[in-house]
Amino acid sequence: MINGLELSEKLQKLNEIDDIFEIYGKNLNNMDPDQLKILELDFSECFKGMGV
């Protein structure tokens, strides 16, 4: 079980990721597949570090 501080930190990270998605979401249609793959790897690393 995680404590309140850990939960707060994880929620903060999710909020930051949500902001990033919002920014990237506007540009995803203009990205080539290679760029999307790099972005996908960045996010998977991010989530892995959070234990999600």
Burial of 24 (0-12, 13-18, 19+ CB in 10 A): middle
**Average pLDDT of adjacent 10-residue blocks, the chain of 52 residues:** 79 82 69 74 68 56
Tokens 């995803």 sit on residue:
28
Check residue 19 and give its pLDDT: 80
Q: Are 50 and 10 in contact (CB under 8 A)?
A: yes
Check residue 4 and give its pLDDT: 82
